[in-house]
Structure 1
Amino acid sequence: MLDHRSTLRRSRVARALTAAGAAAVLVAAPLAAPTPAVAAVSRADLALRWAPIHHQDVDATGTHALGGRSDYITRVDFDGNLDGRDNWDRAGQSGTSLAAHAYYSVVETSSHWYITYLFFHPRDWTDHPFFETEHENDGEGVLFAIERDGSTYGVLRAAVTVAHSDFFSYTPAGSTWTSGRESVDGTLQFQASPHDTFPHPVTAQEAQGHGLKAYPQYAINGDGVVYYPSTVAETPSDGNDRDVRYQLIDIFATGGLWAQRANASLFAGLGTFAGDTSGDCGVGTWSCSTNSANAPWGWDDGNDVPARGELASDPAKLSAEYFTVPAGLARTYSHNPYATAAAALAEAARTAPPVVD
C-alpha cells in the first residue's frame, strides 16, 4: 500500500506535468474579449483573477540559502509572530512553515481598478563576499492597472514591477496604453493556469535579491519554483517544484499588514520592515544592513515623479506619469484605504531617507 508521502509525490508529479503543458501556451497575445458583467465582482475575486503566475528562481548555494528555502515566498508571520527582527533566524529553524502566500491591495476609481501584489521573503541574501549586502526581510511586487470596461473583471492594460529601488513598466500585446514620461520596458505575457480557467499575467523574481520583473526579463535558471494563484497555500516539495499554489492575503484585512503599519515590532518606520543583524546575516559576505525592506506603501523609484509609496497609495497618479492613456484616467478614488493616512504618507515620503532594497 502506498503511504501518504508516496501519494503526495505522485500528486506533485501529476500537477507538474499539467503545469508543463500549461507552460507551452505562454504567449504575448492580448486576452480574449471579455464577456458582459452579470454581477459586481468582489475585490478578493478580482485579485485572484489577475494574480500572476509567478516564476521564482532558486539558488541552493551556500549556508544562507537554506538549501533553496531562502527563495521561497511566504507570509510575514510565517513563524507565528509579527516580529520582523527574528525572521532571518527563524527561516532556518525546523517547525516554521514557508507555505506560499502573497499580499494584495485593491484601490478603485470610476475608470480603473489598481491591484498591488507583494511577494515577501524572510531573507535577502548572497553567496559571495564581495560588494553585495544581505538583510532581513524582503518585499517586492507588482502593480496591475485594470480598465473597468463593463465586463466582470475588466481588461489589464499595464503593469509596473518593483526590482529593488527601480520600477519597470510593461503592457500586454494589444494594450491601448503606450509609453509616457517613462518608457515601456517590455511586453507582459500571459499563461494558462492548470488550477482555473483564466490566462494570468506572468512575473518572475531572481534568486537571492528577489528583484521582480515581467517574465522572461527574469526567469528560472536551473532550479526554481512556479507559483500559481489559488485559494490554498502549498509549500514547495523542494527547490525545483514547478507547480505550487499560493494563497492571497488582503493587505486591508482586519489586523492585516495595513492595520499593523504602526506596529514597531514589524515596522521600523512607515512602510519599512524592521530588521536587524542577528544570526549569520552578513557573515562571510560584504555586510548585513538593518531596516532595509519595504511594504508597498514604502516602495520608491527615486528617479521618477511619483513619491515614495504612491505606486500603491496613488496608482492613478503613477499610471498617468508612466503611460499615455488615450481614454484618460479618473483621478478620484471611490475606494482607497491608503488615503486615510495620505497626509502621513506624504510627510514620511518627504522627510524620510530612502530605503534601498
Structure 2
Amino acid sequence: MLGKGRIAAALALALVSAGFTAPAPAAAAVSRSELALRWAPIHYQDVDATGSHALGGKSDYITRIDFDGDLNGRNNWDRAAQSGVSFSAAAYYSVAETSTHWFVTYFFFHPRDWVDHPFFETEHENDGEGVQLAIEKNGSTYGVLRSAVTVAHTSFYSYTPSGSTWTNGRETIDGTLQLQSSPHDDFQHPVTAQETQGHGLKAYPQYKINGDGIVYYPAAEGETPSSTNDRDVKYELIDIFTAGGMWSQRANTNLFASLGTFAGDTSGDCGVGTYSCGTNSANAPWGWDDPDDLPGRGEIATNPAKLNAEYFTIPGDNNRTYTYNPYTAETAALKKAAETAPPIED
C-alpha cells in the first residue's frame, strides 16, 4: 500500500502531466508600516537661508515633533535656534482601511512657520501640513495608487496619477500626481513638494525647489541634511499611533492647546521684524480643515473614505465601511470638538 506522501506525490505528478499546475501559495498580507513606506512621497523641500528667522535654512527642514528632546510645543521656536538639537528628517503616518481601499495620511512637521519681511503675514511656532493617498486594492501586494489630497495652509488640493480611473467629484482635480524612482528602493513613489517659510504642500511641480533645497526619500532611518542644498536625504516614517506617539499625546496640554491644534506661543523673536506672531496656529492631521469644502475638520485623516468619495468620482466597488480605522473610536469626540473650536491661523 502506498503511503500518504507517495500518494500525494503521485497525484501531483499526474496533474502536471495532464497540464495542471498547483496554485502559488497566498502572499502574506502587507503590514501597514510596509504599505506606508512603499507609497511614502519623494518630497521636495524648498529652502530659504536668508533672514534671522530662517536659521540658515534649518527652519525649512522637516523633522520630528520632539526634535529638541521634549514634547513641549511652546519652546520649539526658541529651541530650533539652539545648537545640538536634531534636524534628522522624519514624517508621520496613519493608515485606514476598507475592503476595497487603503488610505495613508502623511504629516510633515517644521518647528517654525516663518517670514522674512514686515508686511501683512503672520509667522508662528510649529507647522504641520501633509498629504493623504488613496490606494485601491487590486490583488497585488501594495495595490494601485489612485489619488492624493494635499494640505496647503487651510486649503486642500486634489490630484490623480496618470492612468487613474478616478475623475472629478464635488471638487475639481487640481493636477497630475507625478511618480518618480527612488535610489533607495525599487519603487516609483508619488512626488510632493513644500514651499519655503509657510510650508504649503502640493504635488510637485506646483511647488518646487527654487535655488537651495532638499530632496527627501523615504527610508528605514532618517538623516540630517548636509547643507541647504542636499538632494538625497533619507527620512524615517513614524506611526502616529505608536505607543507614546503623537496620537497618545493628544491630551498633553504642553504639546496641544486643543484637540488637533499644537500649542505655540510668542516667545523669543517670533513676530519680531515681521507683521505678527500667531499662537496655537498649527494642526495635526485630525485638525486639518478646508472650511470651503464639505468634509469636516480632521476627516481627511479620520474619515478618508468619506473625503475621497466627496472629492472624486470613484468607479467600481467603493466600500466606505472600515475594516481598520484607528481614529474611529474618537470620531464623535473630534466632531463635537470641531463644532466649538475657534478658527485656526495657518
Q: Normalising by structure 1, what TM-score?
A: 0.89
CA distance in 2, matches of 1:37, 1:205: 40
Matched, 1:236 2:225: yes
The Cα RMSD (Å) is: 0.9
Alpha-carbon offset, residue 328 of structure 1: 3.9
Report what 2:195 is aligned to. Answer: 206
Within 5 Å, which residues of 2 pair with 1:1-357?
38-357=27-346
Alpha-carbon offset, residue 356 of structure 1: 2.3
CA distance in 2, matches of 1:283, 1:356: 18
Aligned to 2:53, the other structure's residue is in SS state helix
Q: Which amino acid aligns with 1:262?
A: A
CA distance in 2, matches of 1:211, 1:37: 42
Q: Which has the larger radius of gyration?
A: 2
Q: Which amino acid aligns with 2:257?
A: A
Q: Which amino acid aligns with 1:171?
A: T
Asked if the contact 2:278–2:345 (Cα under 8 Å) also holds between the matched residues in 1, the reply is no
Alpha-carbon offset, residue 37 of structure 1: 6.8
* Gap regions ≥5 residues in structure 1: 1-35
CA distance in 1, matches of 2:40, 2:273: 37
Alpha-carbon offset, residue 351 of structure 1: 1.4
Asked if the contact 1:126–1:209 (Cα under 8 Å) also holds between the matched residues in 2, the reply is yes
CA distance in 2, matches of 1:135, 1:41: 39
CA distance in 2, matches of 1:62, 1:170: 34
Report what 1:28 is aligned to. Answer: none
Asked if the contact 1:37–1:151 (Cα under 8 Å) also holds between the matched residues in 2, the reply is no
CA distance in 2, matches of 1:329, 1:59: 43
Asked if the contact 1:116–1:142 (Cα under 8 Å) also holds between the matched residues in 2, the reply is yes
CA distance in 2, matches of 1:282, 1:354: 20
Render the CA deviation track for 1:289-324: whole Å, top value 9, x for unaligned.
000000000000000000000000000000000000
Q: Which amino acid aligns with 2:103?
A: Y
Q: 1:37 to 1:235 in 2, by over 3 A?
A: farther
Render the CA deviation track for 1:63-112: whole Å, top value 9, x for unaligned.
00000000000000000000000000000100100100000000111110
Aligned to 2:249, the other structure's residue is in SS state coil
CA distance in 2, matches of 1:134, 1:311: 25
Alpha-carbon offset, residue 340 of structure 1: 1.2
CA distance in 2, matches of 1:223, 1:312: 31
Asked if the contact 2:67–2:86 (Cα under 8 Å) also holds between the matched residues in 1, the reply is yes
Alpha-carbon offset, residue 199 of structure 1: 0.6
Q: Normalising by structure 2, what TM-score?
A: 0.92
CA distance in 2, matches of 1:204, 1:282: 26
Aligned to 2:104, the other structure's residue is in SS state strand
Aligned to 1:321, the other structure's residue is in SS state helix
Render the CA deviation track for 1:210-262: whole Å, top value 9, x for unaligned.
00000000000000000000001100011000000000000010111011110
Q: 1:241 to 1:327 in 2, by over 3 A?
A: same
Alpha-carbon offset, residue 133 of structure 1: 0.4
Name segments (4+ residues, structure 1) moved above 3 Å.
none
Paired residue total: 322
Report what 2:17 is aligned to. Answer: none
Aligned to 1:70, the other structure's residue is in SS state helix
Asked if the contact 1:124–1:135 (Cα under 8 Å) also holds between the matched residues in 2, the reply is yes
Alpha-carbon offset, residue 346 of structure 1: 0.7
Q: 1:187 to 1:37 in 2, by over 3 A?
A: farther
Q: Which amino acid aligns with 2:166?
A: W
CA distance in 1, matches of 2:66, 2:320: 34
Render the CA deviation track for 1:179-212: whole Å, top value 9, x for unaligned.
1000000000001000000010000000000000
CA distance in 1, matches of 2:94, 2:345: 23
Identity %: 75
